[in-house]
Amino acid sequence: MSRSAVHCTSGCTSFPADSIISRKESPDGPYGASHSVELTLGGLLASLAGTAEIMVNSLHSQGIDRPAPKLRIEAVAPDGQIEAVSLPGARFVVGVQWHPEHKVLENPLSSALFSAFARACAASLAGAPHTVRAA
């Protein structure tokens, strides 16, 4: 997510290891769900999840502090840290702070996210217009 943010001229920040709730390890191990995030109403992730709040497994020590004007905030942790962004109008640009690839088949949002990405890839291969929304 940080690379996408920097590419879009966002600002990134680092935080002290134990000062922010979203960076603490889960009791279920390094990739277990460690905290909740609130999904943006009407956003891509909220539409994929079908809910306004999910549990995620963030472990990163940096994140976006000033999103670029083109980026849409998709999810925010209870401590205010931006946890996900998207780029409206792009075929499929989504960045998340957590690891959706971990136990993807056990997590409905992760499965939906990867399925949406696959649909966007298929649309691209089929020559669909650039503004096709993945969800």
The domains found in the chain, sorted by start residue, are 2-125 (3.40.50.880)
Residue 58's pLDDT is 82
CA atoms of 129 and 66, how far apart (whole Å): 30
What is residue 25's predicted lDDT score, i.e. its pLDDT? 61
Q: Tens place of pLDDT for every residue, the chain, 135 residues?
A: 545 444 444 566 665 555 455 455 667 776 788 889 999 999 999 999 999 999 998 876 788 989 999 999 999 999 899 999 999 989 899 999 999 999 899 999 999 999 999 999 999 899 877 654 544
Beta strand spans in the chain (E) = 11-14, 35-39, 53-56, 62-66, 72-76, 82-86, 94-96
Distance CA 80, CA 86 (A): 17
Q: Are 64 and 85 in contact (CB under 8 A)?
A: yes
Structure tokens at 57: 């497994």
Name beta bridge partners: 95.
85
Q: Phi then psi for 12, rounded to 5 degrees? A: -115, 155
**Cα(93)–Cα(87) distance, rounded to whole angstroms?**
5
Task: Let me know: does 83 contact 69? Beta carbons within 8 Å.
Answer: no
Residue 124's contacts (CB-CB under 8 Å, 6 or more residues apart) are 91
